[in-house]
Structure 1
Amino acid sequence: MNTAIQDRLLLLLREGHGRDEAIDWFRVALGLVYLAGLMTKETIDFKKVDRDYNRFIYHTLGKGHSIASVLQYMSGEKVMPVVESGRFMEAFQRHCPEVPAESIPFLLELNLGVAKNISGLDPAGPLADWIERKKTQTPQAGGQGTVQGI
């Protein structure tokens, strides 16, 4: 993650209305950028990548937040108001153009798949339903790369 992306994520954070919405927007945007970065043919040094993300998260949100907590947040129902927000989607597209909006359902599905592998539970609920609806609306959405190292 470079400083330009960090600066754009901080700008997006400032567009949230109120502290809670701003933090939620930041979490989702950061998580999407992280997950999109996994779509590469290159081998990923997860320790280095996670350390860089965790440092940025700590400096932005403070103690108790990490990339793991961001991804966990993104696998639950609490993410729904963010992904269904037109204001968030417009701001995200403006500040994070390197992550195409049509890839968001795929990235969230990838995250749910990892959560399923960790917990052993099938993902079900509003987020899984939202992903399925989006997949039928845009069947061409999805990642072009592969995830290395998982």
Structure 2
Amino acid sequence: MNKAIQDKLLALMREGRDRTESTDWFRVSLGLFYLAALMTEEAIDFKKVDREFNRFIYHTLGKGHTITSVLQFMSGEKVMPTVESGRFMDAFQRHCPEIPIESIPFLLELNLGVAKNISGLEATGPLADWIVRRKAAPQAPDA
């Protein structure tokens, strides 16, 4: 997590209309960067990576927020207003071009898979349905 990425995430966050939307956009965009960073053949020092992300999250959102809580948020129904927001997708594409919009369903599915492995519960619900729709028609605009 370098300064350039942090600046991009903060700029994207400022485009939210209110505190809740800004916080949600920050969580999702930061979580997408975290998940995209896992797509490497190199060994990952999770303690170091998580510490860097957690420090940035703490400085941005305050106490009680961690990369774990971000990923949990991204696996639940509360993420839906963000992933269905055309404004978010446009802002994310402008500020974070290193993560293609087309990869978002895959990254969210990866996150759901990890949540399923931890909880033992099947990944169902609005987010799982959204992922299926997006994978079936990747060029279709958000509903």
In the other structure, the counterpart of 1:90 is 90
Give per-residue Cα distances to partners, 1:12-34, cap 9 Å, x unaligned: 11000010000000000000011
C-alpha displacement of 1:106: 0.2
Alignment of 1:1-150 (within 5 A): 1-138=1-138
Matched residue type, 2:70: V
In structure 2, list runs of 5 or more residues that go unmatched. Answer: none
1:15 and 1:136 map into 2 onto residues whose CA distance is: 29
SS at 2:41's partner residue?
coil
Normalising to structure 2: TM-score of the pair? 0.96
- Please list every run of 5 or more consecutive structure 1 residues that lacks an aligned counterpart in the other structure: 140-150
* Letter of the structure 2 residue corresponding to residue 133 of structure 1: R
| Structure 1 residue 35: Cα displacement | 0.4
Cα distance, 1:61 vs. partner? Answer: 0.2
Give the fraction of aligned pairs with identical amino acids, expressed as a percent.
77
Return the offset for 1:123.
0.6
Distance between the aligned counterparts of 1:72 and 1:78, measured in 2? 10
Q: What is the CA-CA distance between 1:9 and the residue it aligns to?
A: 0.3
| Structure 1 position 138, deviation (Å) | 2.9
List 4+ stretches of structure 1 deviating above 3 A: none
**Post-superposition shift, 1:60?**
0.2
TM-score by length of 1: 0.91
Secondary structure in structure 1 of the residue aligned to 2:14: helix
Q: How far is 1:109 from its partner?
A: 0.1
> Deviations along 1:50-93, whole A, 9 cap, x unmatched?
00000000000000000000000000000000000000000001
